[in-house]
Amino acid sequence: MILTVTPNPSLDRTYEVPSLDRGEVLRATGDRVDPGGKGVNVSRAAAAAGVRTTAVLPLGGPPGTLLAELLGAQGVDVTAVSIAGLTRSNVTVTEPGGTVTKINTAGPELSAAESALLLDTVRTCSGAAWIACCGSLPRGLAPEWYAEIVARAHEGGARIAVDTSGAALLAALPARPDVVKPNVAELAEAVGRPLATLGDAVKAAEDLIGLGAGAVLASLGAHGQLLVGPEGAFHGTAPVTAVRSDVGAGDASLAGFLIAGGTGPAALASALAHGAAAVQLPGSVMPTPADLRPAAVRVTDAPPLDLPLTPA
């Protein structure tokens, strides 16, 4: 079972438009509402793959009620912590060429009591092989909040993945999460230097391991994904015919990684297959096994260290 913790979930409203023209009245060619938040998406991807999953969420007001209903309809068990504030709503606008424009709101501020209850709720959930803590921290939670989750997860015998950035990522490392999942920009921010090549990314991942991470799964955009851990460094790519929406693709990748055991090249290959499938689906729809193309994935234990990490 995969347990996810999303301290700042959202309702994600996605609109497809022929082009995004400022100041004009636009007619959407497609629209949808999905449960949002990085951990929420990990649970949705796990459920789509037939894996049992529980999402621990602070939820407030009608948006929170709708989010829980949508998750339940997708096969995700929800353990809700009631909060006084309203669950946030985010907007994504996608264009035919793959350009995605996102408007993310800050979300509610959690009180000290709500923060403590959320921690206690995670502690009382049992039976998870993996706990995934994902996304930004809402107002009211200190950067060390994820580190406390990591410590409690290890006390309960679960392995834990952390997908966050900035101060929250750095604060979590001394607690020794089993895997962290930055993208290339977040990895560069964590080590405080630009990453011009794949070799630079490998060295940055090794630096995070030196600070406490058990392994680093880094998304490199069009350049695939990188896994650095106890078994060495692995790089992989998966072909994508056309990008429809990249919303939630990194979360689908993390789900694929955890579903496949969360370690080694086989898990990296699963992450790549799930991520490639997700970007070819509308909004933040999570891929099912029928959407995956595992035979097209390529993973190597000899990463091309001189590969430039240029924008796609």
Residues with active-site annotation: 251
Query: Could you give the CA distance from residue 198 to residue 208 in angstroms, rounded to a whole number?
Result: 15
Computed from CA positions of residues 16, 21, 23, 27, in that sequence, does the dihedral angle turn out positive or negative?
negative
Helices (H), the chain: 38-48, 61-73, 112-124, 145-155, 166-172, 184-191, 198-210, 249-259, 264-278
Helix/strand/coil for 6: coil
Distance of alpha carbon 212 from alpha carbon 207, whole angstroms = 9
Q: Are strands 88-94 and 232-237 parallel, antiparallel or unpaired?
A: unpaired
Other C-beta atoms within 10 Å of 62: how many? Answer: 10
Q: For residue 263, how far is the Cα from the chain centroid?
A: 17
CA distance 236 to 234: 7
| Amino acid at site 124 | T
Query: Alpha-carbon distance 236 to 163, whole Å?
Result: 19
What residue has token string 């992989």?
236
Amino acid letter, residue 66? L
Q: Which residues contact 219 (CB under 8 A, 6 or more apart)?
A: 181, 182, 183, 184, 225, 250, 253, 275
